[in-house]
Amino acid sequence: MAQPGTPEGGRILVIEDEAPLRSIIKMQLERAPDASYDVRTAPDGVSGLEEVRRDPPELILLDVMMPGLDGFEVCKKLKTDPLTSRIPIILLTAKSEYNDRLEGLEAYADDYLTKPWEQKELLFRVRNQLKTRRAQIQSNALTGLPGNVLIEMELSRRIAADEKFAFLHIDLDNFKAFNDYYGYARGDVLIRFTAELLKAQLDRYGGDGDFVGHIGGDDFVIITKPDRADEIGEAIKSNFDVQVPAQYDPLDREHGYVIVHSSRQGGVQKFDLLSITILIVTNLARDIKHSAQVSDVARDLKKKGKAHRGSIVVADRRAHGLPVLPAENPADPEGT
């Protein structure tokens, strides 16, 4: 992802049977004033497919009216292949009738550009498709929330800007038992439920610039202002405890636990209903220069959180001007 002040870029394949137009498109892309594109070309659908499979591009500009294998067929082949289905495709055509545009959408094209076009429109559509694709790649596929790359970028940006921030690390207790007991499909539903709950509480108690991401599995992140962190954390905890029992079958909910057969433990084990642990790290009273320092503090706080039965919010004591206990000293493995 391009940083502010850095030209955007991307690897683009142009599949167009008319040589003069192929050259014009290549020139328009390579001369973009605010981007630096690596542009390859192919003269027909068959060679275009071969080029995609040889070295997949980040974006394809695909002519519709080509001899032999036309653009609609090429698009369908690429979009139904799991290895190439996520490459955005912009169809290029002289056709502008409704039925023609509909056929392009039925072939799973991502966008549609009608000949002739202005260079500005071409560059705008290319930039938008590349931006969307990169956001999807860098997001968690299950929840759609920003993933590890974007989380790291957001945290590093705030550190570099010397902003005061609060970093909330959120994970679920007894999630593996829930997954083993109900199966992966129910586990995925639970993860999506948690993501929506986090977004809802951030919408209610957060503010401009707040960020929510999904590390993976049952681990999530919120980055906010320090003065909002406690309220957001407590709201997440209380709403989770009220709402999560609905994820269980009625009898299990009534019992307040599930029994999981464990071949590793050599028997059965009783697990309480899910709870949530929320760790709050801030740089109010810590000189944080790197994102790894945030992870180190969160790891120390997690020892205290996981020792507690049920949901809990564990805040960095330094953020409240309290003395640092031995439990928060990384040199003391037994502290928390």
Q: What are the domain boundaries of the chain?
A: 8-137, 148-328
* Residues 6+ away with beta carbon under 8 Å from 196: none
pLDDT of residue 74: 94
Pair 41, 22: CB distance under 8 Å: yes
pLDDT of residue 263: 61
Nearest to 275 by CA among 207, 177, 166, 192: 177
**pLDDT value of position 214:** 95
Q: Hey, what amino acid is at 222?
A: I
Instruction: Give the CATH superfamily of 148-328.
Output: Reverse transcriptase/Diguanylate cyclase domain (3.30.70.270)
Residue among 267, 245, 242, 266 at smallest CA distance from 257: 245
Give the length of the chain.
Answer: 336
Assign domain 8-137 to a CATH class.
alpha beta
Which amino acid does the sequence have at 9? G
User: Residue 306: its pLDDT value, please?
Assistant: 87
Q: Are 87 and 110 in contact (CB under 8 A)?
A: no
Give the pLDDT of residue 3: 43
pTM here?
A: 0.67
End-to-end CA distance of the chain: 39
- Same fold flag, 8-137 and 148-328: no
Q: What angle do CA 195, 169, 279 make, to 5 degrees?
A: 125
The residue with tokens 């390579």 is: 30
Contact 178, 258 (CB under 8 A): yes
Say what the pLDDT of residue 331 is: 38
Cβ atoms of 212 and 220 within 8 Å: the answer is yes
CA dist., res. 220 & res. 175, Å (int): 13
What is the model's pLDDT at position 105? Answer: 63
Task: Say what the pLDDT of residue 335 is.
Answer: 37
Q: What is the pLDDT of residues 13-52, one digit of tens each?
A: 999 999 999 999 999 999 998 889 999 999 999 999 999 9
The encoded tokens of residue 53 equal 């499979």
pLDDT for the residue numbered 116: 84
Low-confidence ranges of the chain (pLDDT < 50): 1-6, 322-336
Whole-number Å distance between alpha carbons of 115 and 63: 10
By the 8 A CB rule, do 326 and 332 touch?
yes
